[in-house]
C-alpha cells in the first residue's frame, strides 16, 4: 500500500511514482503549522491515494490551504480542479503559465501525451516577479522564476531546521517548442538553482537529492543538453 515518505523537517512526499498514480509527478507536502502547503497536484488519477497518504501522517487534506503549481504540465496540475472542488485550496502559479492552467491554451498542458482531459482552474495568486516571497502558515516560501522547461516554470525553497529545501520540479526537462521551452533560459535558471546551495532538492520525477549530490545532479543535466 502506498504511504507518505518523510524527507526532512516539515517536508513529505505524498504522491508520485510508487505513492499514487504512475502518471503523477512527485507531489510534496509542507507542514507550515497553521496550514499545509502542497507542491503540485499530480495528474488527478491518484488523488484518493494522496489523500490517504496525507492522513497517514496525522493530517487531513482539508488542512491544505495552498497548492503551488510549479508549471502547467498535466502531470503536475491535472488534479488541481479536484482539490479546489473538495477543499477550496488556493492555487499559486506564475503568470506565464497561467494560460495553460486556466484553459486558454490546452496545448501548453501536454495533456494529449497522457490522454487526459484537463479541467481548467483559476489561478488565485499570480506570481509576476523574478523573485517573490510569501508567508504561508509560519514558513516563508521563496518563489524563483526559472523558465526553460516552460516559460512560467518556478522553483520554490524554504529554510527549515534541516537546512534549505528546494522544490525544483522537472530540472531534467524534457523540452518542446509546443510548450515554449527555451534551453538557453533553462541553463541560466539551473545556475540560479546551483547558487542557492540547497541542502535538500525535491525534484519532480528524479526524487530527492541531498548535499553535494544536488549540484552534481544539476550539472549532469546541464552537460546532457549542452550540445542541444
pLDDT digits (tens, 9 = 90+) for 118-157: 999 999 999 999 999 999 999 999 999 999 999 999 999 9
pTM of the model: 0.96
pLDDT score recorded for residue 227: 59
Evaluate if residue 228 carries a pLDDT over 80: no
How far apart (Å, rounded) are the C-alpha atoms in residues 208 and 8?
10
Q: How many Å apart are CA 78 and CA 43, to the nearest integer? A: 4
Q: Give me the pLDDT at residue 112, please.
A: 82
Q: Determine the topology of domain 5-224 in CATH.
A: Metallo-beta-lactamase; Chain A (3.60.15)
DSSP, res 184:
H
In the block, cell 516560501 appears at 141
Buried b (16+ CB within 10 A) or exposed e, 73-84: bbbbbbbbbbbb
Q: Please report the pLDDT score of residue 3 as a whole number.
A: 87
Average pLDDT, whole number, for the chain?
95
Indicate whether 28 pLDDT > 70.
Answer: yes
* pLDDT for 211: 97
Rounded Cα gap, residues 20 and 95, in angstroms? 28
For 191, the 3-state DSSP assignment is helix
Reported as half-sphere exposure (CB side, CA atoms, 13 A), residue 5 has a value of 15
Q: Report the SS3 class of residue 102.
A: coil
Amino acid at each position: 500500500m502506498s504511504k507518505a515518505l518523510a524527507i526532512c523537517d516539515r517536508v513529505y512526499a505524498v504522491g508520485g511514482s510508487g505513492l499514487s498514480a504512475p502518471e503523477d509527478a512527485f507531489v510534496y507536502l509542507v507542514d507550515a503549522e497553521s496550514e499545509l502547503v502542497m507542491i503540485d497536484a499530480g495528474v488527478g488519477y491518484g488523488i484518493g491515494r494522496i489523500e490517504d497518504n496525507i492522513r497517514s501522517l496525522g493530517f487531513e487534506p482539508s488542512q491544505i490551504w495552498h497548492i503551488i503549481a510549479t508549471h502547467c504540465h498535466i502531470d503536475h496540475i491535472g488534479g488541481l480542479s479536484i482539490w479546489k472542488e473538495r477543499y477550496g485550496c488556493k492555487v499559486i502559479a506564475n503568470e506565464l503559465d497561467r494560460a495553460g492552467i486556466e484553459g486558454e491554451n490546452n496545448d501548453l498542458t501536454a495533456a494529449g501525451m497522457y490522454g487526459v482531459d484537463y479541467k481548467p482552474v483559476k489561478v488565485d495568486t499570480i506570481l509576476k516577479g523574478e523573485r517573490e516571497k510569501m508567508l504561508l502558515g509560519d514558513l516563508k516560501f521563496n518563489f524563483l522564476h526559472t523558465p526553460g522547461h516552460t516559460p512560467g516554470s518556478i522553483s520554490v525553497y524554504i529554510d527549515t531546521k534541516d537546512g534549505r529545501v528546494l522544490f525544483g520540479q522537472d530540472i531534467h526537462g524534457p523540452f518542446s517548442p509546443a510548450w515554449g521551452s527555451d534551453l538557453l533560459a533553462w541553463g541560466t535558471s539551473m545556475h540560479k538553482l546551483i547558487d542557492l546551495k540547497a541542502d535538500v532538492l525535491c525534484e519532480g520525477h528524479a526524487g530527492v537529492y541531498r548535499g553535494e549530490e544536488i549540484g552534481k545532479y544539476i550539472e549532469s543535466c546541464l552537460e546532457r543538453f549542452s550540445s542541444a
